[in-house]
Structure 1
Amino acid sequence: MKILFMLRDPFYEAYPTFIEAARELGEVETLYPDRGIEKAEIIKEIANTDILVVAKVKIDKEVIDAGARLKYIIKYGAGYDNIDIDYAYEKGIAVTNSPGQNAESVADNVFGLMLATSRNITKKDHEMKSNHWELSVGHEIYMKKIGIIGFGAIGKAVAKRAMGFSMEAIAYGHYLDPLAAKELNVRFVTLEELLTTSDYIIISTSLTEKNKGLINQNTIRLMKRSAYIINVSRGGLINEVDLMEALNQKQIKGAGLDVFSAEPPQNALPLLDNVVATPHIGGATYEALVRMADVTMTNIKRYLAGEELLYRVYPQEVRK
């Protein structure tokens, strides 16, 4: 049994015993996407792989077809848009993920981005390191309205933190949880109401073909000129050309972005003065990595024992 790991370098460094434990279950091979790997190398390694553990590398039809022995793909994280779920299902390959395991980490990062954009923290830090001392006036997040797009594990964790800042929380999403909303003092609204009334718009929903480019020229026009956009989900949810134009024209106040359509970004969006950008670090905490590793190891053991897998992912048609 061969297990192939394709994780980001810091994951290996932060939790080395994870790979050591995996070696007790079978042959282990590791690839390092952050150092740059060609698709040909992935195809070569996956040819004799039984279980694939992957973070961000794209697993498309070509890669899946190259895995003659491939029977199980584990997404090391929650979002699985980098995996062709439909084709894997068609080929009889099981797919699982680790939903909710990094929700607290991502929610922390939401508030880090909110505070950084509202108070110019990163800009002021850079100025201080350049021996420049200058006052700037920012905004409180206390008692502001926060609009959460996507009320899953991350959205709920954001709403819980918002209570500590006495924020008014509203949410929009296709999957509603009235009980959690009541406990967290969240009101469900239409997307239009959320966009027109929120001071902070938090994007924490999964990327699908239907919501790709959700934030665009038309939806940005609905927002307050004082609004901030915070995206911790997927870059594809925002039309980055439209957002850049809006930020340059001061149609909105600013943006805090942890994710981009292309990573690393291929445009000047992270360089704008009214943008605070981070390199997809939302779920990158020691605590979250341990939780995701625990789910991954549990599922590998379940697979080897022929037991039912946790957090099985199915195509949209099957989930209906």
Structure 2
Amino acid sequence: MKKVFLAIGRSFYEAYPQIKENIESLGAEVSCLIGDYAADKQELIAGLKDADIYINGIEKVDQEIIDAAPSLKYILKYGTGVDNIDLDYATEKGISVSNAPGQNASAVAELAIGLMLSVSRKIPQSHADMQAGNWRIAMGNGLDGKRLGIIGFGSIGQNIARMASGFNMEVVASGTYRNMQAARKWEVSFTELEELLATSDYVIVSTSLKSSTYHLLDRKRLGLMKPSAYVINIARGDIIDESALLEVLQSGRIRGAALDVFSKEPTDSKLTQLPNVVVTPHIGGATEECVRMIGKMTEENIGNFLSGLPLMNLVNSPAAVRQS
């Protein structure tokens, strides 16, 4: 009997606890490591020592982790981003890796819009004032007719464009992936990153983290933004240079920011203390609907693996390694 090791956050497990029973019904043995955030590395190593299949949440899967799991043949990311997994080493070891792309696109896009509204209308500040017994009018900024720049036009970026169209925003996008059909549908124009930054009233980061996007928004590029502009990051923290962002926000070089992701999580960043910043603890995909869809895709892929059927959404090609 194949052994499945499930290590995900408590809130994600509680949103779809049926996953354990459903995988067991496929004929696998399931053990779980459910925590409030990332698991301790030694706990992870202990849980993976005899696992054939690993359902991964946010834990970093490096060479040490992979070497500690000699039976491991398949890693499933319980989400989309695989930047926490050493894909090259997994491939070298003949381990298949898949994710669940698109399942969180609507949820993350909704949060992006919510953060954009929250920071521009100062909703958290007004809420805090009311709870403190104060009745004080916070003057904000509207979205109607403003330019929205989306960095990364994958499934999340496209959903952001769809939702922004309801606010009568002018939408531009940048990135290597250009879905022309979606762009025409939502009246999105493509432009270079520098032009997007220099002309947008709101900038939403929705691209994946890789070597080419690490600190994509550095001090120089943040300096291109309008003083009245806001930046919203719902992708990965390391896409923005946090020290540079802190500087431009403290100096008033840009008006504000809304951040769901950070370079280190949980974060101790000074960004969380600024009055012109709205922050959330990486909750982009944290909806019950999103988690259920990811869970069902995970179950289907494990069923395929156990039956020797093709796997969906592979992000590496280990078959060639096994055959060599």
TM-score higher than 0.5: yes
- In 1, Cα distance between the equivalents of 2:158 and 2:38? 35
Task: Give the equivalent residue in structure 1 for 2:256.
Answer: 254
Q: Is the 8 A contact 1:149 1:204 kept in 2?
A: yes
Deviations 1:173-196 (A, max 9, x none): 111111111111100000111000
Deviations 1:236-273 (A, max 9, x none): 10110110111000000100100000011122111110
Q: Is the 8 A contact 1:151 1:171 kept in 2?
A: yes
- In 1, Cα distance between the equivalents of 2:107 and 2:49? 35
How far off its partner does 1:44 sit?
1.5
What is the TM-score normalised by the length of structure 1? Answer: 0.97
Change in CA separation of 1:35 and 1:222 when aligned onto 2, cut-off 3 Å:
closer
How far off its partner does 1:160 sit?
0.3
Task: Give the equivalent residue in structure 2 for 1:144.
Answer: 146
Choose from 62, 67, 71 the match for 1:65.
Answer: 67
Q: Is the 8 A contact 1:106 1:282 kept in 2?
A: yes
Choose from 231, 234, 253 the match for 1:232.
Answer: 234
Q: Is the 8 A contact 2:59 2:84 kept in 1?
A: yes
Name the aligned partner's letter for residue 55 of structure 1.
Answer: G
Q: Is the 8 A contact 2:13 2:34 kept in 1?
A: no
Name the aligned partner's letter for residue 13 of structure 2.
Answer: Y
CA RMSD of aligned residues (A): 1.2
How far off its partner does 1:35 sit?
5.6
Task: Give the equivalent residue in structure 2 for 1:5.
Answer: 6
- In 2, Cα distance between the equivalents of 1:66 and 1:296? 23
- In 1, Cα distance between the equivalents of 2:270 and 2:223? 21
How far off its partner does 1:110 sit?
0.6
Choose from 217, 221, 230 the match for 2:223.
Answer: 221
Q: Which moved more, 1:30-39 or 1:87-96?
A: 30-39
How far off its partner does 1:34 sit?
2.1
Name the aligned partner's letter for residue 275 of structure 2.
Answer: D
Q: Is the 8 A contact 2:38 2:59 kept in 1?
A: no
Task: Give the equivalent residue in structure 2 for 1:273.
Answer: 275
User: What is the correspondence of 1:121-132 to structure 2 with a 5 Å cutoff?
Assistant: 121-132=123-134
Name the aligned partner's letter for residue 115 of structure 1.
Answer: L
- SS of match in other structure, 1:29: strand
Q: Give the ranges of 4+ consecutive aligned residues of structure 1 lying more than 3 Å apart after TM superposition.
A: none
Deviations 1:57-110 (A, max 9, x none): 100000001111000000011100000001001100000000010000001001
- In 2, Cα distance between the equivalents of 1:7 and 1:246? 35
Task: Give the equivalent residue in structure 1 for 2:20.
Answer: 19
- In 2, Cα distance between the equivalents of 1:126 and 1:23? 46
Name the aligned partner's letter for residue 198 of structure 1.
Answer: S
Name the aligned partner's letter for residue 19 of structure 2.
Answer: F
User: What is the correspondence of 1:7-156 to structure 2 with a 5 Å cutoff?
Assistant: 7-25=8-26, 26-34=28-36, 37-156=39-158
- In 2, Cα distance between the equivalents of 1:105 and 1:35? 20
Name the aligned partner's letter for residue 195 of structure 1.
Answer: L
Change in CA separation of 1:288 and 1:226 when aligned onto 2, cut-off 3 Å:
same
Choose from 303, 306, 310 the match for 1:304.
Answer: 306
- In 2, Cα distance between the equivalents of 1:284 and 1:36? 15
How far off its partner does 1:137 sit?
0.8
Asked if 1:314 corresponds to 2:316, the answer is yes
Q: Is the 8 A contact 2:38 2:58 kept in 1?
A: no
Q: Is the 8 A contact 2:115 2:258 kept in 1?
A: yes
How far off its partner does 1:212 sit?
0.4
- In 2, Cα distance between the equivalents of 1:116 and 1:45? 41
Q: Is the 8 A contact 1:33 1:57 kept in 2?
A: no
How far off its partner does 1:36 sit?
6.0
Name the aligned partner's letter for residue 9 of structure 1.
Answer: R
- In 2, Cα distance between the equivalents of 1:294 and 1:211? 31
Name the aligned partner's letter for residue 184 of structure 1.
Answer: W
Q: Is the 8 A contact 1:46 1:67 kept in 2?
A: yes
Task: Give the equivalent residue in structure 2 for 1:190.
Answer: 192
How far off its partner does 1:211 sit?
1.2
How far off its partner does 1:39 sit?
1.1
- SS of match in other structure, 1:32: strand
Number of aligned positions between the proteins: 316
- In 2, Cα distance between the equivalents of 1:16 and 1:36? 18
Choose from 206, 224, 238 the match for 1:204.
Answer: 206
How far off its partner does 1:23 sit?
2.0
- In 2, Cα distance between the equivalents of 1:38 and 1:290? 25
- In 1, Cα distance between the equivalents of 2:67 and 2:115? 40
Q: Which moved more, 1:127-136 or 1:151-160?
A: 127-136
- In 1, Cα distance between the equivalents of 2:38 and 2:199? 43
Q: Is the 8 A contact 2:153 2:175 kept in 1?
A: yes
Q: Is the 8 A contact 1:104 1:157 kept in 2?
A: yes
